[in-house]
Structure 1
Amino acid sequence: MASRRKGSRKAEKETDWQERVVQIRRVSKVVKGGKKLSFRAIVVVGNERGQVGVGVGKAADVIGAVKKGVADGKKHLVEIPITKANSIPHPTTGEGGAARVLIRPAAPGTGVIAGGAVRTVLELAGVRNVLAKQLGSSNPLNNARAAIEALASLRTLAEVAEEREISIQQLYSQ
Structure 2
Amino acid sequence: TCARASTSAWTRAWVPGASTPAAAVADAASAAASAGNPIFAPIRWGFAASHARGVHGSAARFVDERFTPVLETPEMDAEYEKLAEEIRRSPKKRQRFLLLEALRGTRLKPLIAAEHELLKEEGAYKPRALKTRVIDVNRTCKVTKGGGLMNFTALVVVGNGDGVVGFATGKGKDVAMAVEKAYSRASRSLVYIERFENSTIFHEQEAKHCKTKIVLMPAKAGTGLRCNQIVESICEMAGITDVRAKVIGSHHPHNTVRACFEALERIKSPADVAAARGATVYRI
When normalised by structure 2's length, the TM-score is 0.52
| SS of corresponding position for 1:146 | helix
Question: Which among 231, 248, 273 is matched to residue 160 of structure 1?
Answer: 273
Question: Which among 28, 32, 39 is matched to residue 141 of structure 2?
Answer: 28
Is 1:127 aligned to 2:240, yes or no? yes
**Which 5+ residue runs of structure 2 have no aligned equivalent?**
1-125
Identical counterparts, % of pairs: 36
1:65-110 per-residue CA deviation (whole Å, 9 max, x = no partner) reads: 0001111212222111111161011111122222111101000000
| SS of corresponding position for 1:118 | helix
1-structure distance, mates of 2:187, 2:249: 27
Question: Which among 164, 167, 171 is matched to residue 58 of structure 1?
Answer: 171
Question: Which among 98, 102, 110 is matched to residue 223 of structure 2?
Answer: 110
Higher relative contact order (CA 8 A, sep 6+): 1
When normalised by structure 1's length, the TM-score is 0.83
Deviation at 1:31, TM superposition (A): 6.8
Deviation at 1:123, TM superposition (A): 1.0
Task: Identify the residue that residue 9 of structure 1 maps to in structure 2.
Answer: none
1-structure distance, mates of 2:144, 2:206: 40
Deviation at 1:166, TM superposition (A): 1.3
Change (3 A) 1:49 1:93: same
Question: Which among 130, 136, 146 is matched to residue 249 of structure 2?
Answer: 136
**Which residue identity lines up with residue 82 of structure 1 in the other structure?**
R
Task: Identify the residue that residue 92 of structure 1 maps to in structure 2.
Answer: 205
Alignment coverage as a number of residue pairs = 157
Is 1:150 aligned to 2:272, yes or no? no
**Which residue identity lines up with residue 56 of structure 1 in the other structure?**
T
Contact 1:90 1:105 in 2 (8 A): yes
| SS of corresponding position for 1:148 | helix
Greater fraction of residues in helix? 2
2-structure distance, mates of 1:26, 1:85: 37
Q: CA RMSD in A?
A: 1.9
1:42-62 per-residue CA deviation (whole Å, 9 max, x = no partner) reads: 111011110111111110011
| SS of corresponding position for 1:168 | coil
Residues 76-85 or 47-56, more deviating? 76-85
Deviation at 1:28, TM superposition (A): 2.9
**Which 5+ residue runs of structure 1 have no aligned equivalent?**
1-12, 170-174
Residues 47-56 or 13-22, more deviating? 13-22
**Which residue identity lines up with residue 255 of structure 2 in the other structure?**
N
Contact 1:23 1:41 in 2 (8 A): yes
**Which residue identity lines up with residue 168 of structure 2 in the other structure?**
G
Deviation at 1:16, TM superposition (A): 2.8
Change (3 A) 1:153 1:32: farther
Change (3 A) 1:79 1:31: farther
Contact 1:117 1:141 in 2 (8 A): no
| SS of corresponding position for 1:16 | coil
